[in-house]
Structure 1
Amino acid sequence: MWCFEKLSEKMGSLGAILKHPDDFYPLMKLKMAARRAEKNIPPEPHWGFCYSMLHKVSRSFALVIQQLDTELRNAVCIFYLVLRALDTVEDDTSIATEVKVPILMAFHRGTKEYKVLMDEFHHVSTAFSELGRGYQEAIEDITMRMGAGMAKFICKEVETIDDYDEYCHYVAGLVGLGLSKLFHASGSEDLASDSLSNSMGLFLQDLKCKENSVKAVECLNDMVTNALIHVEDCLTYMSALRDPSIFRFCAIPQIMAIGTLALCYNNIEVFRGVVKMRRGLTAKVIDRTKTMSDVYGAFFDFSCMLKSKVNKSDPNATKALSRLEAIQKICRESGTLNKRKSYVIKSEPRYNSTLVFVLFIILAILFAYLSANRPSNM
Structure 2
Amino acid sequence: MGSLGAILRHPNELYPLLKLKMEARNAEKKIPQQPHWRFCYSMLRKFSKTFAFVIEQLPTKLRDSVCILYLVLRALDTVEDDTGISIDVKVPILKAFHQHVSDKEWHYSCGTKECKVLMIQFHHVSVAFLELGKRYQEVIEDITKSMGTGMVKFICKEVETIDDYDEYCHYVSGLIGLGLSKLFHASGAEDLAPDSLSNSMALILQKQDIIKDYFEDINEIPKPRMFWPRQIWGKYVNKLEDLKYEENLVKAAQCLNEMVTNALTHVEDCLTYMSALRDPAIFRFWAIFQVMAIGNLALSYNNVEVFRGVVKMRPGLAAKVRDHTRTMANVYGAFYDFSCMLKSKVDKNDPNATRTLSIIDSIQKACKDSGLPNKRKSYILATEPTYSSILVVVLLIILAIVVIHLFASQSD
TM > 0.5 between the two?
Answer: yes
- Counterparts of 2:323 and 2:150 in 1: how far apart (Å)? 36
Aligned residue among 202, 207, 230 for 2:266: 230
2:108 paired with 1:116: yes
Q: 2:307 aligns with which of 249, 271, 277?
A: 271
The structural deviation recorded for 1:372 is 7.0
For 1:24-63, what aligned pairs fall within 5 Å after superposition?
24-63=14-53
| Cα distance between partner residues in 2 of 1:90 and 1:373 | 45
> C-alpha deviations, 1:323-368, integer Å up to 9, x for none?
0000000000011122111111111321135522422322553576
Task: Give the distance between the partners of 1:12 and 1:261, measured in 2 at CA.
Answer: 20
Which piece of structure 1 moves more, 344-353 or 236-245? 344-353
2:56 is paired with a residue whose SS is helix
Q: Which moved more, 1:341-350 or 1:212-221?
A: 212-221
Cross-structure match for 1:328: 364
Cα distance, 1:24 vs structure 2: 1.2
Cα distance in 1 between the residues matched to 2:124 and 2:384: 48
Question: In the superposition, relative to structure 1, how do residues 369 and 214 fare at CA in structure 2: closer, same or farther (>3 Å)?
Answer: farther
Match of 2:334?
Answer: 298
Q: Which residue in the other structure is 2:71 paired with?
A: 81
Give 3-state SS (helix, strand or coil) of 2:120's partner. coil
Asked if 1:249 is matched to 2:314, the reply is: no
Supply the distance in 1 between the matched residues of 2:187 and 2:17 (Cα, whole angstroms): 32
Measure the CA separation in 1 of the matches of 2:276 and 2:140: 23
Q: Is the Cα contact below 8 Å between 2:143 and 2:175 reproduced in 1? A: yes
Q: Is the 8 A contact 1:298 1:344 kept in 2?
A: yes
CA contact (8 A) 2:346 2:353 kept: yes
How far residue 374 of structure 1 moved from its aligned partner, in angstroms, is 11
Amino acid at match of 1:325: D
Aligned partner of 1:6 in structure 2 is: none
2-structure distance, mates of 1:265, 1:294: 23
Identical aligned pairs, as a percentage?
Answer: 71
| Residue 217 of structure 1: how far off its partner (Å) | 2.0
C-alpha RMSD over aligned residues:
1.9
Q: How many residues align?
A: 365
Task: Give the distance between the partners of 1:313 and 1:58, measured in 2 at CA.
Answer: 38
Partner of 1:337: 373
> Counterparts of 1:268 and 1:369 in 2: how far apart (Å)?
43
Paired residue for 2:149?
148
CA contact (8 A) 2:8 2:389 kept: no
| Aligned residue in 2 for 1:107 | 97
CA distance in 2, matches of 1:38, 1:246: 19
CA distance in 1, matches of 2:253, 2:147: 30
For 2:107, give the aligned amino acid: K
Q: Relative to structure 1, is the Cα distance of residues 326 and 332 closer, same or farther in structure 2, using a 3 angstrom cutoff?
A: same
1:207 aligns with 2:210: yes
2:176 equivalent to 1:184: no
Q: 1:263 is aligned with what amino acid?
A: L
Q: 2:271, 2:15 → 1: CA distance?
A: 28
SS of alignment partner, residue 77 of structure 2: helix
Given the two structures, how large is their TM-score scaled by the length of structure 2? 0.84
Who is 1:282 aligned against?
Answer: 318
User: In the superposition, relative to structure 1, how do residues 317 and 25 fare at CA in structure 2: closer, same or farther (>3 Å)?
Assistant: same
CA distance in 2, matches of 1:47, 1:357: 40
Task: Check the 8 A contact 2:339/2:364 in 1, yes or no.
Answer: yes
2:221 counterpart residue number: none
Deviates more, 1:198-207 or 1:360-369: 360-369
User: Can you give the 5+ residue segments of structure 2 that lack an aligned partner in the other structure?
Assistant: 110-118, 215-239, 244-248
Distance (Å, rounded) in 1 between the aligned partners of 2:106 and 2:253: 38
Q: Is the 8 A contact 1:103 1:114 kept in 2?
A: no
Cα distance per residue 1:23-79 (max 9 Å; x no partner): 111111111122223343311111111111111111111011122100000000000
Q: TM-score, normalised by structure 1?
A: 0.92
Counterpart check, 1:23 vs 2:8: no
Between 96-105 and 353-362, the greater mean CA deviation after superposition: 353-362
Task: Write the distance in 1 (CA, Å) between the matches of 2:410 and 2:120.
Answer: 29
Aligned equivalents of 1:193, 1:65: Cα separation in 2 = 22
1:131 is paired with a residue of what secondary structure? coil
Deviations 1:194-244 (A, max 9, x none): 000000010111124445122322222111111111111100100000111
C-alpha separation in 1, matches of 2:20 and 2:315 = 10
Deviation at 1:316, TM superposition (A): 1.0
Residues of 2 paired with 1:182 and 1:253: CA distance?
Answer: 17
Q: 1:115, 1:121 within 8 Å by CA — same for their partners in 2? A: yes
Does the CA contact (< 8 Å) of 2:106 and 2:123 recur in 1? no
Offset at residue 192 of structure 1 (A):
0.5
Check whether the contact 1:17–1:280 (CA below 8 A) recurs between aligned residues: yes
Q: Which moved more, 1:216-225 or 1:36-45?
A: 36-45
Residues 203 and 41 of structure 1: is their aligned pair in 2 closer, same or farther, counting only changes over 3 Å? same
Is contact 2:27-2:57 (8 Å) kept? no
Kindly indicate whether the alpha-carbon contact (under 8 Å) linking 1:19 and 1:349 is maintained by their aligned counterparts in 2. Answer: no
**Cα distance change on mapping 1:374 and 1:315 into 2, 3 Å:** farther
Q: What is the distance in 1 between the residues matched to 2:409 and 2:373?
A: 42
- Where does structure 1 lack aligned partners over 5 or more consecutive residues? 1-10
Rounded Cα–Cα distance in structure 1 between residues aligned with 2:161 and 2:269:
24
